[in-house]
Amino acid sequence: MKDYSSYGPAYRNFKVRDDVYVPEPVAEFSGENPFTRMVPIRGKYKDINFDETYPFLDKSLKFKFFHTLIYLIAWLVAFPLNRIRFGLRIEGREKIRRNRKLFKGGVMTVCNHVHRWDMVCVLQAMRYRMAWIPMYAEPFNGKDGFKMKYVGGLPIPDNFGGLREFNRALDTLHERGKWIHVFPESCSWKFYAPLRPFRTGTFNLACKYSLPVIPMIITFRPRTGWRRLFGNGEPLLTIHVGDPIVPNPEAPRKEEAKRIRDLAHATMLEMAGIISNPWPSGID
């Protein structure tokens, strides 16, 4: 079994099955704080106030047009390109089809945050459904803000008025039976193979709305064959889909959120072939 201690403190005691590929680190990941933000905001040029005046659910014709357009581009361009450029494989997607009746009132998907195109991978695994995605607010002020807004991003505000409207938007989405996706690791660590701790708030949300939770995890494969001719040596991607986890509405929400969090984390470790992980399921 290979020793990954040379990869840095963020890989301490990390062990995987012999058939699991672990890419070399592309950055010096923090071995102390798993929520360290590694990706800078690209070209910050706006200063949006995410308060009670911000349209978390934009009803304008402009939003509807670009929301539809960006998904059309994803279906026609990004999804095929993801298959070609990153060799995307999807394992376990039949679990979504098999449980479709369970998802009529909405569902929450969760995945590790390890790639610029990981949301594209999630959407493909979801059988091309649209999703609404709570996101760190600051990048909405940069070059990626347009895509983040019109793909269905909901900026998470840091003030009371904004949080009230943010929660109202989530209430509305739940009433409409929409799919919600959350990256419970909260920030992206590119090509990082271990699974970081999850923010418990993600699973509080699932318990609040009694949403089934579908755990997913992205793993890596070495770039082989004709794909070695491009891609700058970046690994190929596989996304694994787990069985849905259903909250118990009779259980106290705090304890149930932790149970779901721990079960989702353990399920994702198993799907990824991780035997020993550097991080716990959550840091409370």
Residue that has been written with the tokens 């690791």 in this structure: 185
* Residue 246 predicted with pLDDT over 70: yes
Alpha helices in the chain (DSSP H): 61-73, 79-85, 94-98, 118-125, 145-150, 160-175, 201-209, 253-272
* Residue 11 predicted with pLDDT over 70: yes
Average pLDDT over residues 140-162: 94
What is the pTM for the complete model shown? 0.95
* Residue 1 predicted with pLDDT over 80: no
For residue 274, count other CB atoms closer than 10 A to its CB. Answer: 22
Average pLDDT over residues 183-208: 96
CA distance 103 to 220: 29
Structural contact between residues 216 and 109, judged by C-beta atoms closer than 8 angstroms: yes
What end-to-end distance do the CA atoms of the chain give, in Å? Answer: 32
Q: Find how far residue 6's CA is from the centre of its chain.
A: 27
Q: What percent of the chain has pLDDT over 90?
A: 88
Structural contact between residues 169 and 154, judged by C-beta atoms closer than 8 angstroms: yes
Q: Where are the domains of the chain?
A: 52-276
Q: 213-221 and 107-110: which strand pairing?
A: parallel
* Residue 128 predicted with pLDDT over 70: no
* Residue 162 predicted with pLDDT over 80: yes
**Which pLDDT band holds residue 60 (cuts at 50, 70, 90)?**
very high
> What was the pLDDT predicted at 262?
98
Average pLDDT over residues 33-44: 86
What's the Cα-to-Cα distance from 259 to each of 108, 214, 217, 246, 265, rounded to whole Å? 16, 14, 19, 11, 10
For residue 230, count other CB atoms closer than 10 A to its CB. Answer: 11
* Residue 34 predicted with pLDDT over 90: yes
Structural contact between residues 191 and 234, judged by C-beta atoms closer than 8 angstroms: yes
> What was the pLDDT predicted at 202?
93
Strand, helix or coil at 282?
strand
- Please name which of 174, 142, 139 lies closest in space to residue 155, comparing C-alpha atoms: 139
What CATH number does the domain located at 52-276 have?
Answer: 3.40.1130.10
> What was the pLDDT predicted at 230?
85
Residue range 73-120, pLDDT digits in tens? 999 999 999 999 999 999 999 999 999 899 989 999 999 999 999 999
The β-bridge partners of 216 are 241
